Amino acid sequence: MGMISNQPASLFTGNEYISLPEINSADCGIQTLGFMSESFRGCVEMSGTDRIPLISPFVEIDGRNILTGPKTVSMLDYWIPRFQTVDTTPLVTYTVVSPIARRGFAAVLEFTNHSNETVNLCAGWRGCWSDSSIVAGQAKLMHALKRLYLREDDGTLISLEFTGQTPLYAISLRSSDCSQQDINCGSASGCESYSMSTQIALAPGETRRFDLYVGIGLEEVSASASSRELELQGSEKILNKTREWLADRTIGHTDPVIKSVINLNSFYNFFYCQAITLDTEEFIVTTTRSTTNDFCGAYRDRDAMRWSLPAVLQVSWSDARRMLIYGLTRQLNNVGMHSRFIDGIALEPGLQLDQLCAPIRALDTYVDLTDDLSLLFDRRVQSGINRVQQVLADQRHPTEALFETLLLPSGEYARLPYVCYSNVLVCRILEDIAVLYNRIRDMDRSDEASLLARTVKESILGNFIVDGPFGRMFAHSIDLEGAYEFGDDIEGSLQLLTYLNFCKPDDPVYLNTVKWIHSEHNPKQSLQDRTWNGADDTGYSILSAANDLLADRGGDILEFLRYASLDNGIAGAFVDRNTGQVLKGNGYASGAGYLAFAIRRAVNGVVPATAIVVHKKKGSPNESLYHPPPRANLHTRKARM
């Protein structure tokens, strides 16, 4: 990815262990550092102050920090932030790289003297550790002892440890040239401050590097070992290996702008919806790891299985498999509940029917595209299918084959208990279950699910179709006693009925419904939502944009996304329809995955080789896995991913 115009407020990066969601382009400072914790059931984040970041580089000449001046800003391989000074002597390049499967990151300062005279400069890092928070939907301050001290015995310069009755976590900062540095540490007003610097005389034509390695651990010894391991690897090797890994997982397209939007959102989803917990090293899935978002650290079935997993599957089949197993094991007891902690315990109770359907829909998508039938013989997965069916049975109407829900896809209370979109999803996952059992030749269960799917479809067509302003159309919800409501839900739109193979694109009832969604009769127009505080006619829903793309009704959405700034290139919940800047819902990692998948599918982007699995026959083209033909019948169809 090349230079980003109109320097963004902040960039981002991270890996399985750490997240760096706020790297300020004004001074290149890392404002926050986060990690996932099993024992705390959420995202733990260390932060600096508004004035002093947690970790901030500086390059001073005659007392002036040239890193605060004009810079070009870029994202190498759509994930590695790089800053470069403009019209300065020396030329300074600053890169932040988070290597795969490492507990930490490297920050690299590089200086090149293009002048004919020696340049004397002072370079290094300074920072302030102000607060620690635990976030699972809402940030809460953590209270314990903060320690900042030197470890000169092993060459670690500075360690920062958070200690209760026992140490809870720590980070270690180690530079590439610890023998010639000035180091200062102090504590004031509850903020632990530090600085490390070195004097450099840069000869004409000379290039020098000054690296910082930041490791994380459960206490300062393990954090120091993490930073030491990074130092032994070296920043050049770390950068090259990370770039190779990212290049192997980059989605291809001929339009560089569209390619950039796809891959920025794809990698953001990949790294900020999956993680390895620091304290137990368990794999977890969450809506996002950015504390700028209201759903940080929480788990929701729909976000993980229907929005994030398809985007991960178009990059790495093995990671998508891990997500499925997690969703059908750790998160199984409360499946369908609005939101949970990362260990599966209820966070926000209340059954949401579309969330209950999400794991089965994801399982069928995965198996259909990979032919990895081993999952279907896994007893944990079979238990997951059974559990979903049991909960469904409890929600069924006594006489009609329709299923009630307490919450709408938006999470709002359902005024009428039977929601059309949610019941269409039930119909679809029953078809999925039939196909899955057919694959392993369990014909009794397959036939049972297939029969129920047909019955549910008949009930939907017999109860949800009502008279509307443009003719017969689908009602949003009903009570089976004569009452119904028109409407549409951005997070579960009736536009997706064709994407879910419930009806054909030319179905007149479907067309009338879509026409109503995009008309003045709908208080929540497809790309425009006036329901949240402060919204006006400029509010643009990115989720609705993805819905339109998946329903093959993209129109000029792709052109809008070409110039929309979004949240530094990442999807947010709502954006300004004129500038494309995010107005609400920053750092929405699962939403980023949903958008990346929708765009890639709409433009026929080329999935990387890492998305192709050994279970498929050799010679199968990438595109055929992700754009299969519409199904001919229940047992021979291919899912529309």
Q: Cis ω on the peptide bond leading into residue 90 (within 30° of 0)?
A: yes
Q: H or E element: which one contains 157?
A: strand 156-163
Is residue 62 scored above 60 in pLDDT? yes
- Domains in the chain: ranges and CATH: 10-248 (2.70.98), 256-626 (1.50.10.10)
Q: What does the CA dihedral 224, 229, 234, 237 come to, rounded to 10 degrees?
A: -140
Query: How far apart (Å, rounded) are the C-alpha atoms in residues 59 and 164?
Result: 36
Structure tokens at 30: 């890392």
Task: Report the share of the chain in percent with pLDDT over 90.
Answer: 75
Token pair, residue 54, equals 């947690």
Which pLDDT score, from 0 to 100, does residue 406 have? 97
Distance CA(294)–CA(306), nearest Å, equals 19
The pLDDT tens digits of the residues spanning 381-418 come to 999 999 999 999 999 999 999 999 999 999 999 999 99
Neighbours of 607 (CB within 10 A): 21
Burial code of 251-278, b = ≥16 C-beta within 10 A, e = fewer? bebeeeebbbbbbbbbbbbbbbbbbbbb
For the chain, report the end-to-end CA distance as a whole number of angstroms: 27
Alpha-carbon span 488 to 513, nearest angstrom: 9
Contacts for 100 with CB less than 8 Å, ≥ 6 apart: 15, 16, 241, 242, 245
- Give residue 138's pLDDT: 87
- The answer to whether the CB of 581 falls within 8 A of the CB of 565 is yes
Query: 443 and 437 in contact (C-beta within 8 Å)?
Result: yes
Check whether 1 has a pLDDT greater than 60: no
pLDDT value of residue 152: 65
Q: Supply the pLDDT for residue 613.
A: 65
pLDDT at 567 over 90: no
The neighbour count for residue 50, using CB atoms within 10 Å, is 8
pLDDT confidence tier of residue 159, bands split at 50, 70 and 90: confident
Confidence (pLDDT) at 638: 43
pLDDT digits (tens, 9 = 90+) for 597-628: 999 999 999 999 988 765 454 444 333 345 43
Q: For residues 542 and 269, what is the distance between their CA atoms, to the nearest angstrom?
A: 15
Phi and psi at 525, nearest 5°, equal: -65, 155
Rounded to 10 deg, the angle between the 317-327 and 379-395 helix axes is 50
Share of the chain above pLDDT 70, in %: 90
pLDDT at 6: 43
Contact between residue 478 and residue 484 where contact means Cβ atoms under 8 Å apart: yes
